[in-house]
Structure 1
Amino acid sequence: MRNTIIRKWTSDWNKLYEEEARRLKDIFQEELIQIYHIGSTAIPTIGYAKPIIDIVIGLSNIDKTVLYDEKMCQLGYEVRGENGITDRRYYTKGGHNRSHHVHIYRAGHENINKHLQFKYYLMNHPEQARKYGQLKIELATKFPDDTSSYQQAKESFVTGLMEEAQEWSIIKKSYGYITRMTEAETQILVFQHPVKKAGIQIPKGTVKHRELPVDAVKREMEEETGLSNFPDIHYLIDDFWENDDGVIHHRYFYRLNIDETQDEWN
C-alpha cells in the first residue's frame, strides 16, 4: 500500500516535467503530436500536491503504443494498459514511491482537452484551486497510509471541479491551412497582416457561441479570403494556448483543399 505524501508546490516540478518530456519525445518521435504537463504539479495556484509528475501525450496512432513499451520500461516505467480508462495507455514510474504518471491517448482525444481545461480553469480561479489544495492536506492527514482511501475521499470534490471547468468559457479559435496543388507541389495560402509587425499569417477567427469549430473555419475562411466551397476539410489537431495577456485560447486547426485560385489578391 502506497503512502499519501503532500508537498508544498514548487517550480522544480515544472523542471522535472521538461526533463522527462525530452526523454519521452526521444522515445515516441514522429508519432508524438501533443505532450502536456497536467495534474496538481502543473498548477501553482493549488499550493500543494503529491510530488508526482503527470504527463499526457497525444499520439497519431494509439495502436502503435505497444511498439514503445520496451523503451518505456528501459526508462523505468511500468506498462499498465488502459488501467480502467477506455482508449488510454497508462505508464507509472517509481514503484511504490511514484515519481511520474504518463497517460497516452489518440491525438485530439476529448480526455486530453478535459485535463487541459481543468488545469487552466484552476490557474484562472485561484480560490477554487486553494480549496482543492487544502482538501489534499486534510485528506493526507486523515489517510497517511492509504492512497486508495485518499483518492476516493476527494473524488466528489474533483468531479465538481471538473464540471465547473467544462462550463468555463474559453476563447475558441479556428485556423485554416488552405492548400492547393500546383505542378505536383503543395502550396499554402498565407496573408500579410495590415499591421506590419503582425507579419505573415494563416487565416483564422473566433468560434461563435454554440457554433461548431468546423463551421467556424468555413465561415472565417470565406470572410477572410473570399474563397468558399472547399471540397475537402480535414481536422488536424486542437490545443490550448496561453496568450501574452494570460487569456487561454482553445485552438482548432483544419486543412482545407481547394482546386483553383489566384496567386495573389487583396
Structure 2
Amino acid sequence: MNPKASSLILVTLFVFFISVNVESFDVTELLNRYPDLIGFNDLLTQTKIAESIANRRTITILAVDNSSLAGIQSRPIDEVQKILSDHVILDYYDMKKLRKLQKSVIVTTLYQTTGVAEKGQGFLNVTHMPGEQFVFGSAVKGAVPVAKLVKAVYAQPFNVSVLQVSQPIVAPGIGEVILPPPPPPYIPPPAQPPKSSTSSNKTADSPGSDEDEIDAPNEAPVEAPAPAPVDAPDEAPVSSPPAPTKEETPVAPASGASRVYEGLSFVVAAFVALVF
C-alpha cells in the first residue's frame, strides 16, 4: 500500500474517532449526576440547547441550582432559550484558567451564534475580584455583573467545564433583568466600655490594658520606719536656776514707811517697860 495513502487513512480515522467522541457528549447525562442542577438540566432539554451543546468541542456551562431558577422558569420558552444560551460560553474556563485572569475578560456565548443578539447581548463580562472571587454579567453597556461564582462542578480539560453561578444572567433587551439581592444590613459591633485611667479600678486578677502600665504589687505597703529614740541625758536639763536656801535668801531693804513703823514700835515698847 502506498505510504501516503496509509497516512491519509490514519488521519481520517483519527478525525473520525474525535468526531464520534465529541458527538457522544451528552450534557443531560452529565448534569443528571447533580441533584441541585436538575431544574437547570430540564430547561436545557426543553429549549433544545442541550442538542446545540452536544455539537461543540469546547464549552463552559454556567449552571444555576434549583433554588435560584424561580426568576426565569415562568417566562415564555423562547425567552428562556435566549437567557440560557447566554449561559454557554464557547471557550473552556476552569478554576485554574479563571485565576490567571488579571481583571476581566469578554467571552462569547452560544446566543451570539443565533444571529439575533443585539448590542452585546451575546457576550459576557467575566471579572476577577479580590479574594479569589469571580463575577459574571452581560457585556451590554451599563449592565451590572450579577452572578457570582459559587463553585466548580465538573471539568474535562480542555473540552467541557461546568461552573455553578449564584443566579441567572439576563441581558438587557432579552427580558426583565434579575438584580442580585441587596447585601445584609451592616450591624456595628457592640460599643466597648471606656478604659479607666486610674489603677483603682483594676482587680488583682485582671490583666492591664496598656503595656506601659505597671500593676500595683499584691503585698501591703511597707510603712516608713520610725526614727530611733534619742537617749536621754543622765541629768535632767536645768530649766531655771536652783532656789536659794534660807540662809542665802536675800532680804529686801526696808522702805521708809517700814522704818517709821519699826521706830514707833520700839518707843511704845520702851514706854510700857518703864511704866510697869
TM normalised by structure 1 equals 0.22
Choose between structure 1 and 2: higher helix proportion. 1
Choose between structure 1 and 2: higher strand proportion. 1
User: Does 1 or 2 have the higher relative contact order (CA < 8 Å, sep 6+)?
Assistant: 1
Q: Which has the higher Rg, Structure 1 or Structure 2?
A: 2
